[in-house]
């Protein structure tokens, strides 16, 4: 808590009393955003980024480079897991980029929410980080209830293609997404991060070795 206070930041929050979908949850932040670009970071996802700048900083920079209405963080997943995510139909971004060992910048032609393997246009999935123009609120207002009886953020993003460009930045090779949406996944992520900690990592590693015996 002391470390947070030293950052000299202010935290405001609003509660989504009824779980009516991610689009509705994002819309509840409208009064905080006003006319500024903003980031959405889903709480059930951690991105461990060894790069400098970190993934979120690169995502924001690419959002500006692409002059996008929305820019999505993206990850290549196993095709059999496509029914868990929003999946992208993409083409390579034609901008001024430094040559890399693989392409990581894309323009999103379409999105499909939790498709079957047969319906999936690729294996590139949205992975819990977004940069938005405030115009996204206009499209959230327009969408109807979608899959699962909820207002899907993916539907609002798809609709926003009417007036803006959607971009995507793939995780780098040394970046990893942690899904912490269940107790077991959270526990595994917690252990991984503790093992990386210089102070407690060595002691915890020795303790785990003893348990294994």
Give the CATH number for residue 10: 3.90.550.10
The reply to whether 72 and 108 lie within a common domain is: yes
The reply to whether 29 and 117 lie within a common domain is: yes
The reply to whether 164 and 185 lie within a common domain is: no
- Looking at the structure of the chain, the number of domains it has is 2
Instruction: Give 125-142 pLDDT, tens digit per residue.
Output: 999 999 999 999 999 999
Instruction: Identify the H or E element spanning 92.
Output: strand 86-92
Mean pLDDT of 94-110: 73
- Helix, coil or strand: residue 119: coil
Question: What is the distance between the alpha carbons of residues 9 and 3, in angstroms, rounded to a whole number?
Answer: 11
Mean pLDDT of 150-161: 91
3 exposure class (CB count in 10 Å sphere: 0-12, 13-18, 19+): exposed
pLDDT surpasses 90 at 99? no
The reply to whether 206 and 118 lie within a common domain is: no
The reply to whether 172 and 184 lie within a common domain is: no
The reply to whether 200 and 148 lie within a common domain is: no
What pLDDT score was predicted for residue 18? 87
Helix extents (H) in 53-130: 55-65
Question: Which range of residues forms the domain containing residue 103?
Answer: 2-179
The reply to whether 175 and 188 lie within a common domain is: no
- Please indicate whether residue 145 or residue 184 has the higher confidence score (pLDDT): 184
Confidence of residue 101 (pLDDT cuts 50, 70, 90): very low
The reply to whether 67 and 157 lie within a common domain is: yes
169 exposure class (CB count in 10 Å sphere: 0-12, 13-18, 19+): buried
In angstroms, how far apart are the furthest CA atoms of the chain?
60
């Amino acid at each position: 808590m002391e470390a947070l206070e030293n950052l000299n930041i202010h935290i405001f929050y609003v509660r989504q009393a009824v779980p009516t979908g991610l689009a509705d949850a994002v819309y509840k932040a409208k009064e905080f955003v006003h006319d500024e670009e903003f980031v959405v970071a889903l709480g059930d996802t951690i991105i461990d980024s060894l790069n400098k700048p970190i993934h979120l900083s690169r995502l924001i920079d690419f959002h500006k480079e692409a002059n996008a209405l929305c820019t999505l963080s993206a990850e290549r997943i196993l095709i059999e897991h496509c029914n868990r995510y929003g999946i992208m139909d993409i083409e390579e971004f034609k901008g001024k980029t430094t040559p890399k060992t693989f392409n990581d910048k894309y323009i999103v032609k379409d999105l499909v929410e939790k498709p079957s393997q047969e319906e999936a246009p690729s294996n590139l999935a949205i992975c819990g980080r977004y940069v938005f123009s405030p115009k996204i609120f206009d499209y959230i207002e327009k969408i109807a209830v979608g899959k699962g009886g909820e207002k899907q953020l993916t539907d609002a993003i798809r609709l926003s293609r009417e007036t803006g460009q959607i971009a995507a930045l793939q995780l780098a090779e040394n970046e990893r997404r942690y899904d912490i949406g269940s107790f077991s996944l959270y526990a595994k992520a917690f252990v991984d991060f503790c093992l990386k900690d210089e102070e407690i990592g060595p002691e915890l590693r020795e303790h785990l070795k003893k348990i294994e015996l």
